[in-house]
Amino acid sequence: MELLKEKILNEGKVIDGRILKVDNFLNHQIDINLFNQMGREFKKRFENDKVDKILTIESSGIGIACITAQYFNVPVVFAKKTQSSNITSQVYETMVHSFTKEIDYRVFVSKEFIKEGEKILVIDDFLAHGEASLGLIDIIKQAGADLAGVGIVIEKDFQGGRQKLEDAGAKLQSLAIIKSMKDGEIIFA
């Protein structure tokens, strides 16, 4: 998606050759016009996949998941990372490893919000090692639901997430794929 690539080139900053800082428009400040164009693009790419629901993970997936859901006319469910006192129902849970923060964290979804046989589209802001998306796919499997696909805003191709998701049988669509960020220079696939 050309507009997104331009934004990444103009406003993204590479840290340590592996982290791409795009908090100017994606995950701290949010460019809503860009998000709308991305939502329409996801709709185009998963148009024939009969999506019943969009699943994402807090926090930075929520915005793009909500904007995208408008084009599919389906609800969003976001997986949570911390148990709050108003989650009383039974949950599906899984562990996710964050390479950025070097921690493992628990992720869960209330059982009532993903049902057997539903077709679930996973939407997230980044794909790097694929751990977060794999965690969501695990939850979908536990629920007996079907994976419609995985839609990613920015994929960092060199961190191996694509292979893992394709091995898990996912149809993967990324709006921008970065092949390399060596020496701070962003090169798209």
Q: Which helix (H) or strand (E) holds 37?
A: helix 32-45
CA–CA separation, 181 and 179 (whole Å): 7
Candidate segments 1-9, 31-39, 145-153, 178-186, binder of a second copy by CB under 8 A: 31-39
Q: Please check whether residue 128 is in contact with residue 161, taking contact to mean a CB–CB distance below 8 angstroms.
A: yes
Between 90 and 163, name the residue whose CB sits nearer to a second copy: 90
- Type and span of the H or E element at 92: strand 91-98
Phi-psi region of 156 (alpha: psi -120 to 50; beta: other; left: phi over 0): beta
Cβ-based nearer residue to a second copy, 48 or 88: 88
Our finding on whether 107 is near a second copy (CB under 8 A) is: no
Q: How far is the CB of 134 from a second copy (least distance, A)?
A: 20
Contacts of 160 (CB under 8 A, 6+ apart): 129, 130
Binding span for a second copy by CB under 8 A among 27-35, 130-138, 147-155, 157-165: 27-35
Q: In this complex, which beta carbon is closest to a second copy, that of residue 68 or of residue 173? A: 68
Residue type (1 letter), 131: E
Chosen residue from 5, 40, 49, 66 binding a second copy by CB under 8 A: 66
Binding status of residue 10 toward a second copy by CB under 8 A = no
Should residue 184 be labelled a site residue for a second copy when binding is judged by CB under 8 A? no
Interaction between residue 187 and a second copy (CB under 8 A): no
Distance in Å, CB of 63 to a second copy, minimum:
4
> What are the residues binding a second copy (CB under 8 A)?
15, 19-21, 23-24, 28-33, 35-36, 58-59, 62-63, 65-67, 69-70, 73-78, 80, 84-88, 100-101, 109-110, 112-113
